[in-house]
Amino acid sequence: MSVHRPSATTRRRAPGALALLGAVLSALIAVTATSAPASAATRATTPAVAATPVAAPRTAPVAALALVGTSTQVTVHRVYRRGQVLWIEHVLDERLLGIDGCQARRSGTSWHAGTYRTTVHTVCPAGPAAAEAAARALVRSRPWYRVAVTRVPLVAFTLLADLPTGNGRAVPAALAHLPEGPAAFVEGDDVSLTYAGPGVTQAQLDAALAAFASALGVPARTVSVIPLAGS
């Protein structure tokens, strides 16, 4: 029986073939490693993409609810009798507090040492023109009255819920977040609140709307915020 022995040429080529096989295996291992899923440690070091925060809905901006009211200071000297005081107040009620389509009230009234003083706060949906005209007419008819009119920036609006009926808690809940004072005017019922007052911030307006809606048990987005100016 003859035995085949590799020739010298075959023996010399064997190491080259082995080297080629090793290179192929190394390439396969590298491909497998790169295609494998990331380990827990690798995933932990991968930075997460932060979610973009979504801003909460806000009411109408206070700038869109601006309205100009008036503060009218009236001073009358040489007032010595109670009957004179009553007559002055009757005149003011007719001339300054009874302007059609406006709301007005007196505050800070005093009568001391023969001088009567009071301040009339007025808000009109059409602006300050009617109150200023009434003050000028008062001075023309009674030039001894000292009258000074100051414009007052207000925030004026109506909160209106689309409900057939409401409750008595919504208006007080909203007013708890809004400024009070002689220059603030309020009207309301069980499903609406009309307010006009100075110094209202955006945060106060948002809080008043939220409280109004919560007291009625409805989402804030369903409550309309209606500017009073021009209404």
Helix (H, G, I), strand (E, B) or coil at 164: coil
At 33 the pLDDT is 44
Question: Is there a single domain that holds both residue 207 and residue 138?
Answer: no
| DSSP-assigned states of every residue in 136-151 | HHHHHH-TTSEEEEEE
What's the number of domains the chain is made of? 2
Percent of the chain predicted with pLDDT > 90 = 71
Instruction: Kindly report the average pLDDT of the chain as a whole number.
Output: 82
pLDDT > 90? residue 57: no
- Per residue in 59-97, pLDDT (tens digit) is 689 999 999 999 999 999 999 999 999 999 999 999 999
For the domain that residue 85 is a member of, what is the CATH number? Answer: 3.30.70.1910
Residue 122 is assigned to a structural domain of this protein: yes
Which carries the bigger pLDDT value, residue 48 or residue 230? 230
Does residue 138 sit in the same domain as residue 68? yes
Which secondary-structure segment (H or E) carries 35?
helix 8-35
Residue 119, domain member (yes or no): yes
Domain, as residue range, for 118:
64-153
Instruction: Judge if 159 and 119 occupy the same domain.
Output: no
pLDDT exceeds cutoff 60 at 18: no
Measured distance CA(141)–CA(136) in Å, rounded = 9
pLDDT in tens, 97-150: 999 999 999 999 999 999 999 999 999 999 999 999 999 999 999 999 999 999
Residues 163 and 142 in one domain: no
98 versus 41: the higher-pLDDT residue is: 98
Task: Check whether 8 has a pLDDT greater than 60.
Answer: no
Does residue 40 form part of some domain?
A: no
